[in-house]
Structure 1
Amino acid sequence: MFMVILGSASPRRQELLKQLIAKFTVLPANIDESVGDSESAVNYVERMANEKAMAAFAKWKSATHSMDVLPIVVGSDTSVVVDGKVLGKPDSLASAKLMLRSLSGRSHQVMTAVCLYDGRFEQSNSVNVITEVEFRVISDLEIEQYWKTGEPQDKAGSYAIQGLGSIFVSSIKGSYSAVVGLPLYETAKLFEQLGIHPLQEMSHE
């Protein structure tokens, strides 16, 4: 018997995890997501995934009175990276313009790190999946129109590849599900290391 907690409020991650695990609890982790001084994009993304998993576990531990079943916690972070710089979520049309202009007509990286913390054994395993995404040239008018749809507001790098933002993507090399928010292949492998097999889990056999 096992229980799984997803330390994220992202509906995209929830939908993706549903493809691997039939039943899990959503327990968003509230942490400081600032990039450290001189911190590389790789280190940042991996640190965020780990801290989200640990914060969600601590939140669960403080809220429960039963330690009979200790959870496996999934922490994940997705960041858009261009020229080594992490692009966050835009807080205005102006910041969205800066981000999308920096991505226009060129390739960038999307890094998604996943950390599985196994509360049963107090150990964690993680992976960082890096995908190359290339954009066509985007005009300022398109950026303004895209902003008005409401889609870019809560998205890293100001776009959603699973939504209207896909019209900007000319090619992708790597994991599509990782760009959306959770790399399914790699996350399934992490679960398998813990003796949990998604196909067996989803087929109820």
Structure 2
Amino acid sequence: MDQPLLILASGSPRRAELLQHAGYEFELVRPEVPEVEWDQLTPVELCQLNAHRKARTVAKHHPDAVVLGADTLVFLDREILAKPASLADAARMLRRLSGRTHQVVTGVSVMHLRAHRESLFAVTTDVRFRRLDDRQIERYLRVVNPLDKAGAYAIQERGEWIIEEVMGSLTNVVGLPLERVETELTRFGVHPRTSV
């Protein structure tokens, strides 16, 4: 059965890996759009707005495709923990997260421009960190490069060293809440190649 082309509007290798492992065939197009940072928006609103902007930017050039855009942010007490500027900044972030629960929010836009359809949603996962001392933080930062990771960590890279519990979608913490994404893609007629 014919299905529309799926395009992942993202430069994130982690999102591409998640979609590939789920069995989807897709093209990758990096959206050339700056991310919005706006204090008046809630974390959910901000992630959804950025996901929409990414998807729409790519969809304008591919109106017959189903375009998937996403934006993931890490929050502690409503403060964004962006990518650290240095290893010292990464250590500071991990000290703040130590022993505490924070939120990972991913906004997702699934868009088919020709059909004038969009599904826009956000998924939030609570992540509780272990209590970490400076030695444990230094050990983690020796093994994992934190500089390209929001919140200075990646759950798929030695996450067991620093994370005590994940409450909600694990793939959301990696960058794409697959459980909900698969449901929405099905509604747009996009199915993994492994399905019958």
Equivalent residues in 2 for 1:14-163 (5 A)? Answer: 14-58=16-60, 60-61=61-62, 70-163=64-157
- Cα RMSD (Å) of the superposition? 1.8
Following superposition, the deviation at residue 147 of structure 1 comes to 2.4
- Residue in structure 2 matched with residue 202 of structure 1 by the alignment: 194
Q: Give the conservation status (yes or no) of the 8 Å contact 1:126–1:190.
A: no
One-letter amino acid matched to 1:189: T
- Cα 1:149–1:40 change in 2 (3 A) is same
- Cα 1:49–1:166 change in 2 (3 A) is farther
Q: Give the conservation status (yes or no) of the 8 Å contact 2:128–2:165.
A: yes
- Residue in structure 2 matched with residue 64 of structure 1 by the alignment: none
SS for the counterpart of 2:147 is helix
One-letter amino acid matched to 2:174: V
Q: Give the conservation status (yes or no) of the 8 Å contact 1:146–1:152.
A: no
- Residue in structure 1 matched with residue 171 of structure 2 by the alignment: 177
- Residue in structure 2 matched with residue 11 of structure 1 by the alignment: 13
Q: Give the conservation status (yes or no) of the 8 Å contact 2:123–2:177.
A: yes
Q: Give the conservation status (yes or no) of the 8 Å contact 1:31–1:52.
A: yes
SS for the counterpart of 1:170 is strand
One-letter amino acid matched to 1:39: L
Following superposition, the deviation at residue 92 of structure 1 comes to 0.4
**How many residue pairs are counted as aligned between the two chains?**
194
One-letter amino acid matched to 1:149: V
Q: Give the conservation status (yes or no) of the 8 Å contact 1:160–1:166.
A: no
Q: What is the alpha-carbon distance in structure 2 between the residues aligned to residue 182 and residue 83 of structure 1?
A: 22
Q: Give the conservation status (yes or no) of the 8 Å contact 2:66–2:112.
A: yes
Gaps of 5+ in 2: none
SS for the counterpart of 2:7 is strand
Following superposition, the deviation at residue 150 of structure 1 comes to 4.2
Q: Which one of the candidate residues 123, 141, 159 is aligned to 1:165? A: 159
- After the TM superposition, which segments of 4 or more aligned residues of structure 1 sit over 4 Å from their partners? none
One-letter amino acid matched to 1:94: A
Comparing 75-84 with 118-127, which one deviates more in the overlay? 118-127
TM-score by length of 1: 0.87
What's the CA shift string for 1:2-50, capped at 9, x where partnerless? 1011011211111111244532110011322242133221111111111
Gaps of 5+ in 1: 62-66
Q: Give the conservation status (yes or no) of the 8 Å contact 1:108–1:133.
A: yes
Following superposition, the deviation at residue 174 of structure 1 comes to 0.3
- Cα 1:72–1:177 change in 2 (3 A) is same
